[in-house]
Structure 1
Amino acid sequence: MSQKEIQESLELLEKDWDVDPILHDFVLGKYTDVTDFSLIVKDVVFHIPYLPKEKKYILWKCYWPDCHNCCDRQGRLPLTSDDLIQIGQGMKYQKTSEFVKQETLVATHDEPTPSGGFSVMTNVSLKRKTDETEADDGTHISCRFLNGEGGCGIHPTRPGVCYLYPFSTWAQNEKGRARVHATFQFTGDCPGFYLSESLDSMKEVLDDYSKTIYDYNMKSSRTLKDGFGSLSMS
């Protein structure tokens, strides 16, 4: 997302939620003194921002059902091969190929990498609106499966990527072993970020997310091998 888009998201967020001024400036990239604190939980390396001057970590908790911005301001919903089967069956499609034809969209986008470069991703994504086109990919759209109570109309077969929020994840080959990494997405849409002197309040959340994140990365890797999408590095 561009700085302008993040700024616009923050302005919308602050109409309904109180955002800590420190977090406001951090999300806008105004903090340069930030340490990447790495914490290994099971098979996932979590990268937690730490502000040395304030001596505080940036942590997160979910405010659902009072907030469902992650569904109401969705950028894309890439699907794994498992998603294609499970969601298709949940929507009563007899053939996965028919589900793909009617309910998904193939789109390509640039994805920043931790090294400062980017990767070109081609994904099969679930349509967030019935007439979605490739031009809509990456734009904020309210998911068509979001109901009036802030719930998901296709839960629990919703896309695996939905379970990752607010984390962004990637896998690296480290000495022949897949090591999965995760860090927060700071898009300006989520009111759940807060400052804390300790990681204790988030240990249970990280423990729960570690399995979800690791399993999703393994499924994504298998999805590319199955031919449902592609990845190229630059």
Structure 2
Amino acid sequence: MSQKEIEESLDLLQKDWDVDPTLRNFMLGKITDVSDRPIKVKDVVFHVPYLNSEKKFILWKCFWPDCHNCCDRQGRLPLTSDDLITIGKGLKYQKPSEFIKNETLTVTYSEPGPSGQMTTMTTINLKRKTDETEADDGTHISCRFLNDEGGCSMHPDRPGVCYLYPFSSWLENEKGKPRVHATYQFTGDCPGFYLAEDLEPMKEEFKEYSKIIYDYNMASNRTNREGFGSVSFS
């Protein structure tokens, strides 16, 4: 996302939530004295930003059910092959092919990777609105499965990527073995970020998300092997 888009998101967020001025400046790129503090939890290495000037970590917690910004301002919902079966059945489709035809879009997009390289991905995405087109991909859209109470009408069978928020993740080759890495998505849409002097307040979240993130990466790799998506680097 561009700095302008993040600033617009933060302005919207501040209409309903208090946003720490230091965190706002960080998300807008105005604080650059930042260290990456990796912490390995089970099978995932979490990369946690540490603000050297503040001597504090950036941590996170979810305010659900008081907040559903992540569902109200979705950018895209890529599906794994597991999602195609589970969500298709939930929507009463007999065949995954019919579900794919009527409820999804196949899109190709590029994003900067963790090492600076460009990552190009082709994914099958769940339509966030019934008339969504490829031109809508990457834009903020309220998910059509968000109900009047602010909950997901598909839960617990929602897309695997929904469980990741606010993390993004990737795989790296470590001595011939895959290692899963994760870091936050700073889109300006989530009120759950806060500053802390140590990592202890987020200990349980790291444990919970370690399994979620690892399982999602394995499902994504399997999806690509099965021909439902692809990833390339340049």
Superposition TM-score tier, normalisation by shorter sequence? over 0.9
Q: In the alignment, what sits opposite 2:120?
A: 120
Deviation at 1:150, TM superposition (A): 1.0
- Any residues of structure 2 matched to 1:1-234 within 5 Å, and which? 1-234=1-234
User: What do residues 122-169 of structure 1 show as CA deviations (whole Å, max 9, x unaligned)?
Assistant: 100000000100000000000000011110011111000000000000
Superposed displacement of residue 118, structure 1: 1.1
Give the 3-state SS of the residue equivalent to 2:168 in structure 1: strand
Paired residue secondary structure (2:54): coil
Give the AA of the match of 1:97.
S
Deviation at 1:232, TM superposition (A): 1.3
3-state SS of 1:220 partner = helix
Runs of 5+ unmatched residues, structure 2? none
The amino acid of 1:205's aligned partner reads E
Letter in 2 for 1:86: T
Q: 1:205 Cα deviation (Å)?
A: 0.4
Letter in 2 for 1:103: E
> How big is the shift at 1:50?
0.4
State the TM-score, normalizing by the size of structure 2.
0.99
What is the CA-CA distance between 1:217 and the residue it aligns to?
0.2
How many percent identity over aligned positions? Answer: 74
Q: CA deviation at 1:95?
A: 0.5
Shift of 1:98: 0.4
Q: Partner letter of residue 152 of structure 2?
A: C
Matches of 1:178 and 1:157, distance apart in 2: 27
Gaps of 5+ in 1: none
CA distance in 2: counterparts of 1:193 and 1:38, whole angstroms? 17
Give the Cα–Cα distance (whole angstroms) in 2 for the partners of residues 221 and 88 of structure 1: 20
Please list the CA deviations of residues 163-187 of structure 1 after superposition, one character each: whole Å capped at 9, or x if unmatched: 0000000011111111000000000
Report the secondary structure of 1:70's partner residue: helix
When the two chains are superposed, the root-mean-square deviation of aligned CA atoms in Å is 0.6
TM-superposition CA deviations, 1:196-229 (whole Å, max 9, x none): 0011110000000000000000000010000001
Matched residue SS, 1:29: coil
- Give the distance between the partners of 1:84 and 1:181, measured in 2 at CA: 25
Cα offset for 1:49? 0.4
Instruction: Give 4+ residue runs of structure 1 displaced > 2 Å after superposition.
Output: none
Measure, in 2, the Cα distance between the counterparts of 1:233 and 1:117: 7
How many correspondences in the alignment? 234
